[in-house]
Structure 1
Amino acid sequence: MIYELRIYTILPGRIDAIRKRFSDHTLGIFARLGMQVCDFWEDLEEHPKLYYTMNYESMEERTRQWEAFSQDEEWNEVKQKSELDGKIVERVEQIFMKKADYFKSPT
């Protein structure tokens, strides 16, 4: 299993736009395409950042899912409409991780 941490730095004044885009559209599109979000966070100190993790069986599956997402008609329409007032995301960082064999979850 591969985990991806995605960190979105949002342009000034656009945090509400990204919140709305994720809550109203993006998370539903991910689900429809079989893309699994593990968890989702906002910055505690209110920096304009979002963080979320996704999991995949392999890097090949990840590549297929993101290609399907980038070509999805609904996503492209949502993105275009949500950016009528300007771009929302300044940058996206991606960190790929795997579980550490030596860590056992306390649950």
Structure 2
Amino acid sequence: MNRTIRILALTFALAAGTALAVDAQTHKETVQQLRIYQIYDDTKPAFHDRFRDHAMRIMARYGFRIVATWETQNDGRIEFAYLLDWPDEATMKAAWDGFMADEEWKDIKRRTRGDKPLVQVLSDRTLRPTAYSPRRIAEPSR
């Protein structure tokens, strides 16, 4: 094999190795977070206004990726559930710390709180994929 072919082969091998390393970084396992709140008939519109118009916007600043939101009935109570997608648990924790400390969010919560709270957290679960989960590997970063 002449020198040029060896150099090209080495360059290709290094490039492939680099691509695989980048691929491993962008295709890592993610965790999801499922949060379920109880909301109340009399404050439901205010809750949805606050979540839609303020919480989602401020959460985006801290890297929250909201996959979906739902409203449901369970045992006679109205529940609001949403699913978040995180690259890892450390990122999730840091984002929540930032969001909860955000001065704008604290001010909005103060201003939108009436005599009765808008929401009660019923469940906050971190979901880790099983080895056989169809969605085991995350899509590349967008």
TM-score by length of 1: 0.84
Paired amino acid for 2:105:
W
Shift of 1:44: 5.6
Q: Match for 1:60 among 90, 97, 102?
A: 90
- Could you list the per-position Cα deviations for residues 33-86 of structure 1 after superposition, in whole angstroms to 9, with x for gaps in the alignment? 211111111116784210001011221111100000010011001111110343
Residue of 96, 114, 117 corresponding to 1:84: 114
Q: Per residue, is there more strand in 1 or in 2?
A: 1
Distance 1:63 1:104, change over 3 A: closer
Bigger Cα Rg: 2
The percent of aligned pairs where both chains have the same amino acid is 26
Q: Residue 42 of structure 2: SS of its match in structure 1?
A: coil
Q: Which runs of 4+ in 1 moved over 6 A?
A: none
RMSD, matched Cα? 2.0
Q: Distance in 2 between matches of 1:43 and 1:24?
A: 20
Return the match for 1:35 from 58, 61, 64.
64
Residues of 2 paired with 1:34 and 1:104: CA distance?
24
Secondary structure of the corresponding residue to residue 74 of structure 1: helix
Q: Larger relative contact order (C-alpha < 8 A, sep ≥ 6)?
A: 1
Which structure's residues are more often helix, by fraction? 2
Q: Would the aligned equivalents of 2:35 and 2:121 in 1 still touch at CA under 8 Å?
A: no
Deviations 1:4-30 (A, max 9, x none): 000001245221221111111111111
Is the contact made by 1:41 and 1:50 (CA closer than 8 Å) also made in structure 2?
A: yes
State the number of aligned residues.
105
